[in-house]
Structures are given as C-alpha cells and as structure tokens.
Structure 1
Amino acid sequence: MDARGGAGAMNGNAADWFVERHVREGRSDKPAFVEAWQNGRTLTYGELSQSSARCASALLRAGLRREERAAMFVLDQIEFPEIFWGALKAGIQPIALNTLLVSDVYQTILEDSRAGIAFISHELLEVVLPAALASEHLRQIVVIGGDAAPAGTISYVDFMKDAEPAPTVNCVGDEVAFWLYSSGSTGAPKGVRHVHNALRVTCDTYGLQVLGIKESDTVFSAAKLFFAYGMGNGMSFPMSVGATAYLFNGRPTPDSVSEILATYKPTIYCGVPTLYAAMIQKWEVEGAHPEAPLRRCISAGEALPGEIGRKWKGIWGVDIMDGVGSTEMLHIFLSNKPCDVAYGTSGTAVPGYDVRLVDDAGADVSIGGIGELLVRGHSSAADYWNQRDKSRATFEGEWTRTGDKYELTDSGRYVYCGRTDDMFKVSGIWVSPFEVEQALVEHPAILEAAVISQRDAENLEKPKAFVVLKDGKTESDLGEVKEFIKDKIGKWKYPRWVEVIDDLPKTATGKIQRFKLREPA
C-alpha cells in the first residue's frame, strides 16, 4: 500500500493487516501487549488473533449488526485491543472514549453516537454506569474485571463464554472503521469517524518514516489508547511491525512512568510536554533518573517548550521529537525528525502529508508571516458525526483546517503560535501565547505556564499569565518575572498580570484549555 491509501491499495479490513498478518508471518508467539504492573498479563499476536475473533463472534451473537457502534470505556489493558480489533473483524465500529470524563458528558456521547453496546472497565463503573443505564440505545453493558457484574450488566468473561472465532468480514478501505471523540480543547467533544485505511496510512508515514519503529522495539506510551496520539503510539505503530507495547491502566505520573522505564526498559517512549517537564523536575530534585535503552522519544498534544527538550537530551542523550497531530488526522503530520531536531519548532511535514499556512481570506502566508495551518493527507477523518456545518468548516476538499496558528521560518520549519482562538494583538502586533509560555517556563521557579489575553483599564488587550510553580518554590521566588520576560522576547509581549495557580486545565491529551482560563470565576 502506498501512503495515499486509496481503496484499491488495500483489500479489506484493517484487522487483517494489523492482526492476522502476524499469524501468517509466524509471529503467533510474539508478545503484542504486556500489562506494565505487578501480575500484569501478556497477550501474544496469536492469542490476540483468537480472542479478537471470539469477541467478533460474541458481538454478533449479542445482536449487533454491521456498522453499529460499540462504546469502549476501557482502560489501557489487554481487553482494549481484543475489543477494538474484534469489533473491526465483525464490521462493527468501536468508539474509543476518554476515560477521564464525567457522567453527564458520557450520557451526551451515548445519546449522540447511539451505540448499541458498551464495554466498561470495572474501575470506571461509578462514573460510567449511571450514563449507560440511562441510555435508550444500549442493548447490552459489558463489565471488564471486578468481582461481580452489577445488575443490568454482564461480565466480559460471560460475554465471551463459548464464543467461537468468527471470520474477519471483508470491506473496502474507505469504509468507516472506528470513531474517536475530539478532546475538547475549545469546547464540547465531536464524534470523529475514521476509515480502515487511515490506520495503516499513519504507520506508513509517521510510524515508518519518522519514528522508524522496528519489530525489535518495545514501546511505552504514557498517552492513553483512547485518543488518536496514544492509539498510534501504543497500538497501531507497534502492531504495524510486530513489536511489543506496554500498557498501563493507571494515571501516568512522574513516579509511575519512572518505575515503568526502570522495570520494563522500553526502547521508545511517547509522552506529552506536561509529563516530560514533571519527570525532569523529579529527577533534578532526586539527582538520579531510571535506566532504559531509549532510542526514540516523542511528544505531541501541546507544543513542547524548547527548554524541556534540551534538558531531556542532557539527561538521556536522546532528543524529544516534538510533533503536531490531531484527532481529525489520526496522528502526527508535522514533526521534528531523527538527527534533525530544532527545539522551539514543530519541524517540517511528515512524508505523505502537505501543509500550508493561510490568512483569514484563505491566501497563502509568506515566510515570516502567521497563518492558520492546513494539512492534506490520507489519514484525514471522513467527517464529524451529525455535525454537517462543522464538517464543512474543517474538511475543505483534500485539506483539513487544524485551528492552529503557525509561523513559517526561512529554514522551512514551522513555529507554533497558538490556537486560532488564542491569538491576540498587542499594540497592533500579533502575540503568540506559546512564545510567552516558553519564556516563562525558562524561569527557574516556574514549572508550567498558560497565557491568555485580558483587557486593561483602557480596554486594550494585554497578556495575562497563569503559572504553576515547581515543588518547593513560592511566589516570592518569581522575583522580577516581568523583566525576565521582557529581556527574552520583547517589551510589549510580557504578561501584565501573573497569577499563581495549582494546576492548569487540560484535556486528556495534555492540551491547555485556555478557554477555561478566560471564563469568569
């Protein structure tokens, strides 16, 4: 298959290439997934072939029909790939859902998607079950793990009991395969529908030509499987080459991730800027870091401050390859590359993708100017479910609007400026919130920062900063922080107000939700 991923380039169901191919090529005994906790389980490629086929059979036995939806409220555990690929084998569309939301949002999603079945990790029952029981569309609720399935549900063990392996349905590559819901950095999540071919396109482009993943690699992604970045890192990329992925069903903290790096020693680590910063702070305080044979480290979700990348390389001798992706494009399409990392930039287009910057009138922006980033590539989503106007506004023919503002440098690299809704002008000059945030995190007392616009006494827009301090630091340690910023990036860009807070509001992918900082208290 070429990177264009047309219907004629790939015959049939994505599950055949990602799962069954490894059995045909002799990898049945190779671990595909390992649960990275005490007494965690291992799932080989051969076992995945069988269990996903049995799951397909159980779905059909439960009365699910082709193109119906299966909602997945599933933590990163071996049942996730079993259910995901099992649904694809049956022609049913799995919806991988954020496991960190609240009941009201889940109820909205279940109503919007009209899923016919839900799979729920037992750890999530308190939040998810009320929404599931209230759904008029769900015909079955399957609980994974736990001592006993609550009333109105069935255990995953009983759901799978006596199910004989079902054959993989044949389909064309342009059929919808699965759904994701956008992370909601600017508001309510939207149902994003992806086709079978899109999974392999991301592997043939970023996975193969940037990440350079190999069969011998072991991968740990702190980013979870339920969103696009984590799904690529922790499932589709390793499975594209027959590698092994470590799954962790808990919260990725500096302590838990450090333990996983030390115990399982992955060769590829995939994180987000917030976690990279927190891990570096932990190791600086402790004066030591775990040992692992890391050869690739990547970041996405939010632009990586250059200071974090430089410190990480100083510790590990390995660069963090910062990249840009989206739920709509399934994975990273703009990235730094191995041996070609420029911190403070998002790099260049991933092979197989085209990018351009446009102004408000849709005209191309020249070098040095700021414009909205558009991307073209064959992993683009089919549409937003039941949101025609938003689909038309985002998917313009072959091009997808990202909603991100970028600057193109004379070296051909792209520098992140902020979300389109986050940009503002001071004294008639565009200010990039991210540029100010990068300067702020270089201050020795600041761990994280977010910048928004606020109107002053003259009703003019000026930058306001919210900062999270490093452990042990107090507001007095900020000193002349405004002068610190003036000296780094320019006198008109410094924050007129600096407010210390405990945490920044973020999506599950690590994107700062600046719209929440702009909301009145």
Structure 2
Amino acid sequence: MDEAPTLNVAAEILRHGDDASVALRLRSETERSDVSRGELRRRVCQVATALRQSGVQEEQRVLVVLPDSPEYVYAFLGAIWAGAVPVLVNAFLRPGDYPSFVRETRARAVITTAAVAEALAPATGPPVLLTVGPARSGSLWRAIDEQPPSCAPLPTHPDDPAFWLYSSGTTGRPKGVVHRHRSILHAVESYGRHVLDVRADDVAYATSKLFFAYGLGASLYFPLTAGASVVLSPEPFSPARTWKLLAEERPSLFFAVPSVYRALLDHAPVGTPEAVSRVRRLLSAGEALPETISREWKERFGQEIIDGLGSTEALHVFLSNRPGECAPGTLGRPVPGYEVQVVDEDGAPAARGEIGALRVRGDSIAAGYWQRSEATRRAFQGEWFVTGDQAVESADGRFRVLGRTDDMLKVSGQWVSPLDVENVVAGVDAVRECAVVGAAGDSGLIELVACVVATAGDVERLRERIDRACAEALPRFKRPKRIVVLDALPRTATGKLQRFVLRDAIRRPTP
C-alpha cells in the first residue's frame, strides 16, 4: 500500500517569509505592537506543545473565543500544528452564550478571555480553559512560556478535519462548518493568486474579524502564506477608527463588506483620498455590492471595489470580478480552481440568461455541517455545494446573484429579485440603505415592501420620490406597495442583511 500523503496546513502557512519581517501588527485602542515572523513561529509551536501537555489529542476540538489579536493567530495555528481542530466562534456574544458551543462541539479545550472562562467554568466541566489577558497575563501565557521554541507539526492528512467555522446565521441558527487541511491551500492558490496577487511587501487590513470565513482569509492565511503582514484590530467596526487605521497603516489590501463601504462613505474625513492612496486592491464580499456604493466610491476616490461571492462552506470567494475589469452589479466570473453553474429545478445546467440555483465545486468546499445531516444532504450534493442563491449567467460568462432562494418573491405570478428593486430605491437621494421583502397585504396576497434607512429630510416626500423612481424604472409588478422607514436594517455580526428578521418586523398585525 502506498504511503498516505501528509499535509499540516499550519506548517504550510508558516514556512513562508523571513524570520525578521513583521507578520502581525496589533493596533488596538490601548496597545500597539508588532510580531515578527520568527516570533510567530515560536509562539505557534509553544501553543501546540501546551495543548498536547494539557491532554488535547489529535482531531479533538479546541474552541477559540478571542478578539482579533496575535494570540488568536497563535491559538488557531497552534491547535492545527498539534493536530487538533480549532473551532472559531463569534467573540462578541454574551459570556453566557458560549457553554452551548462547548457542548455542541464537545471541545476538549477552550482558549478565551478571563470573562468568558468565568462563565464557562461552572457550566462545562471537562474542557481545559486557557485564558488570555492584557499585558501577557492569563494561563495561556504561563503555559506557553514554559515550552521549547520549536516542535514538529503533527503529520496530518489533506482530508483530515483542520478547523471549523460557524455560518453567519442570516436565516437562523448558525451551523458548524467542518473544513479540511486542503481547503486553505486551495483558496490561496485560487483567489489568493488570481485575484489578490498577494506579495511579500503587502499589508492587509480587514474589517471582518478572524472568526468569519472572509476575515480568516483576509487577515491570516492569504497574507501569511505570501510572507506579507497583517493589521489586527480587536475592537468592533467603527468608521472613524477604520479611517484612522487606513491613514496610519497604509494597507495595500483592504477587505470589507458592502455595509462597511457605505459607512465609510458616509463618514469620510477631510483628506480621505490620501488615506487610501496606497491600497491597490479594495475587496468586497459577504453580500451583493450595490451599484450605488461602487459608483460613489469610484467617483470620490478614483478606485474600483472588486466585488465577489463566497461562503463559509466554500471557505472564501469563488466568483469574482477582476482588477481593471469590474462590472458593477455583477460578481464577475468563476475564480480559477472553481466550477460554478446555474441549474434548473431538475439539477440540469441552465442556459445562459435563465434564472436558476447556484452551485459550486472546488477543493475548498467543506466536508459538511456538524450534526446537521439533513442540512448537509440538501447543501452538499456529491462534489457540488448548493449555495442557496438564485443567479443568472450572462452571455459573456459573468454571474449575477438575484438573491437567496428563500428571498425570491412571486408577485402577480412572476418572480421578482429583491436586488433589482433595491438598486432602484438605493439610487434615490436621501436613501442611505434599503432592503425589499415580501409581506402579505390586506388581500392576503404577497406584496413588495421597501424598507429604507433615510439620511435626513421629510419622510413623506422621500416616499413620493421612491414611488416616482420605481414607476419610471420598474414594471408594475416589481414596484413596492409599501415603503417603511426604519432607523436601521437588521444585520448579522458580519454585516449581512437578516431578511427573516425584517419580514417579522414589518408584518401587518392580524385583524
């Protein structure tokens, strides 16, 4: 029998770059520090050894609940180096929310803050709790400072589970998504090489946090595998802080979601073009980038935003525009290394121009959902992952997503994409954000409801302008019957719109 191949993705990520070069730049409100690539390698080995000595064995789960920081990177790569499986969980939940994750994942260890550890201690029993505090305090630092600076990575198989991510919960309860060692390297060779073109002198900065699939690639494996450096900011997103970091750190790669680009436009300080002058790639993913945002950014700063589509299950972006070839309103073409199809109700490839379900295949597709067999069967069909999006491929091979399958609306017997209506409404002056959902009208039939966040002004006059714009641009069946003005749209921690929450919020009371 041939010897089985080995691949430990943490070792692959860390074998690039000079030991003296800066790998991580921590920029918090209270601390500024740099970590060299050599120091990063040492800390990862020390975490791996500490986990092994704590009793963590191969393929056992290690829950990671930390703000973005060097310690987060040490924990993620150190667990993989040891052959364990880090599980990345939203760091902005309430401490009392985490015991359920420990129970669901059966985590053998938890690397977290003292506040979360205190909440976990009485509720979780067996897991080893390794805490991280300010100024190198906490049991994790005590454990790793005693370890030797080098060790061999566990020789894992490319198809072994390497880490988990949790889906963002746009439609309800998040699902544990199990990824293999091969997943990251495929993403690096596809999107990292053909779209990002990451170089050793790049500086990457992402507003999406490391516990999200988008942020994990942007702030960890894309830059580190190229020998580049990363700006890490533990605080939640704020426009002012983001503009400050853009001006001070001068990143060359900037990753954000559409709602962040909207907020940055709304709060751009004087001298903004200088702050983004060094950025050579502005990336967007997470949800469709409205044409209004793309157009306004280009007009004000002279830069294109490269929009793409990815998912937690695919690990990162598999459909993308290309630098210099961006077509606003589309997601571009498949990233090399992925095959993307639009299929009809029978699962057969649809003709170009026909609407259907989107599916993708490639080596970064997850193994499935943890303990969600029915959801796994629906979404993972052979080599294909069915994304849950409705899409259409144009004659020139560009893809456009019309919305989530569950979000498509049938009005007067005809299918309506919320995005088509939203693009019109978003172009009306004084509309900051908008989302279109379906709700039962007085007749009991589904009608379109435009939910808008206004910048200022008279609400009734805004409604009139929206009605007029829709009448000029849309056929009658696509025009909203109601316009609801809200203070904000409900979003997940990643900035994705939660339409199911919005539908509940605007539902008419039952007579």
Same fold (TM over 0.5): yes
Q: Which residue among 125, 145, 158 is the counterpart of 1:161? A: 145
Distance 1:338 1:56, change over 3 A: same
Letter in 2 for 1:163: Q
Which residue in 2 is equivalent to 1:309?
Answer: 294
Task: Decide whether the 8 Å contact of 2:4 with 2:157 is kept in 1.
Answer: no
Q: Does 1:17 align with 2:15?
A: no
Q: Distance in 2 between matches of 1:265 and 1:147?
A: 26
Alignment of 1:435-450 (within 5 A): 435-450=420-435
Letter in 2 for 1:118: V
Q: Does 1:145 align with 2:133?
A: yes
- Deviation string 1:478-498 (CA, Å, 9 cap, x unpaired) is 141122122223332121111
- Deviation string 1:437-492 (CA, Å, 9 cap, x unpaired) is 2222211111111111011122211111211122x445245141122122223332
Distance 1:147 1:257, change over 3 A: closer
Distance 1:135 1:197, change over 3 A: farther
Alignment of 1:404-423 (within 5 A): 404-423=389-408
Alignment of 1:478-489 (within 5 A): 478-480=462-464, 481-489=466-474
SS of the residue 1:519 aligns to: helix
- Deviation string 1:493-515 (CA, Å, 9 cap, x unpaired) is 12111111112111122211101
Which has the larger displacement, 269-278 or 96-105? Answer: 96-105
Which residue in 2 is equivalent to 1:291?
Answer: 275
Q: Distance in 1 between matches of 2:4 and 2:320?
A: 26
Q: Distance in 1 between matches of 2:254 and 2:3?
A: 34
Which residue in 2 is equivalent to 1:106?
Answer: 98
Q: Distance in 2 between matches of 1:178 and 1:337?
A: 29
Which residue in 2 is equivalent to 1:37?
Answer: 28
| CA-CA distance at 1:171 after TM superposition | 1.3
Which residue in 1 is equivalent to 2:260?
Answer: 275
Which has the larger displacement, 333-342 or 504-513? Answer: 504-513
Which residue in 2 is equivalent to 1:50?
Answer: 42
Q: Distance in 1 between matches of 2:462 and 2:421?
A: 15
Which residue in 2 is equivalent to 1:378?
Answer: 363
Distance 1:390 1:30, change over 3 A: same
Q: Distance in 2 between matches of 1:145 and 1:354?
A: 44
Alignment of 1:14-413 (within 5 A): 14-19=9-14, 21-22=15-16, 27-37=18-28, 39-103=31-95, 105-122=97-114, 125=115, 128-129=116-117, 131-136=119-124, 138-146=126-134, 155-164=139-148, 165-283=150-268, 288-292=272-276, 293-413=278-398
Task: Decide whether the 8 Å contact of 1:15 with 1:85 is kept in 2.
Answer: yes
- Gaps spanning 5+ residues in structure 2: where? none
Task: Decide whether the 8 Å contact of 2:243 with 2:275 is kept in 1.
Answer: no
Distance 1:337 1:148, change over 3 A: closer
SS of the residue 1:313 aligns to: helix
Q: Distance in 1 between matches of 2:166 and 2:501?
A: 19
Q: Distance in 2 between matches of 1:8 and 1:310?
A: 54
Q: Does 1:475 align with 2:463?
A: no
Q: Distance in 2 between matches of 1:185 and 1:254?
A: 23
Q: Distance in 2 between matches of 1:502 and 1:392?
A: 39
| CA-CA distance at 1:313 after TM superposition | 1.7
Q: What is the percent sequence identity of the aligned residues?
A: 36
Q: Distance in 1 between matches of 2:186 and 2:372?
A: 25
Letter in 2 for 1:143: T
Distance 1:138 1:491, change over 3 A: farther
- Deviation string 1:148-195 (CA, Å, 9 cap, x unpaired) is 98xxxx532223231224321111111111111111111111111111
Which has the larger displacement, 420-429 or 34-43? Answer: 34-43
Task: Decide whether the 8 Å contact of 2:315 with 2:364 is kept in 1.
Answer: yes
SS of the residue 1:160 aligns to: helix
RMSD of the alignment, in Å? 2.1
Distance 1:271 1:148, change over 3 A: closer
Q: Distance in 2 between matches of 1:419 and 1:10?
A: 39
| CA-CA distance at 1:418 after TM superposition | 0.8
- Deviation string 1:202-232 (CA, Å, 9 cap, x unpaired) is 0100010111111111110111111111101
Task: Decide whether the 8 Å contact of 2:19 with 2:36 is kept in 1.
Answer: yes
Letter in 2 for 1:160: I
Distance 1:295 1:8, change over 3 A: farther
Letter in 1 for 2:88: A
SS of the residue 1:492 aligns to: helix
Which residue in 2 is equivalent to 1:4?
Answer: none
Which has the larger displacement, 213-222 or 358-367? Answer: 358-367
Q: Distance in 2 between matches of 1:276 and 1:8?
A: 49
Q: Distance in 1 between matches of 2:191 and 2:5?
A: 18
- Gaps spanning 5+ residues in structure 1: where? 1-6
Q: Distance in 1 between matches of 2:122 and 2:356?
A: 44
Task: Decide whether the 8 Å contact of 1:41 with 1:78 is kept in 2.
Answer: no
Q: Distance in 1 between matches of 2:459 and 2:238?
A: 24
SS of the residue 2:81 aligns to: helix
Task: Decide whether the 8 Å contact of 1:440 with 1:485 is kept in 2.
Answer: yes
- Deviation string 1:423-450 (CA, Å, 9 cap, x unpaired) is 1111111111122122222111111111
Q: Distance in 1 between matches of 2:48 and 2:113?
A: 19
SS of the residue 2:374 aligns to: helix
SS of the residue 2:407 aligns to: coil
Task: Decide whether the 8 Å contact of 2:102 with 2:124 is kept in 1.
Answer: no
State the number of aligned residues.
501
SS of the residue 1:178 aligns to: strand
Q: Distance in 1 between matches of 2:5 and 2:281?
A: 29
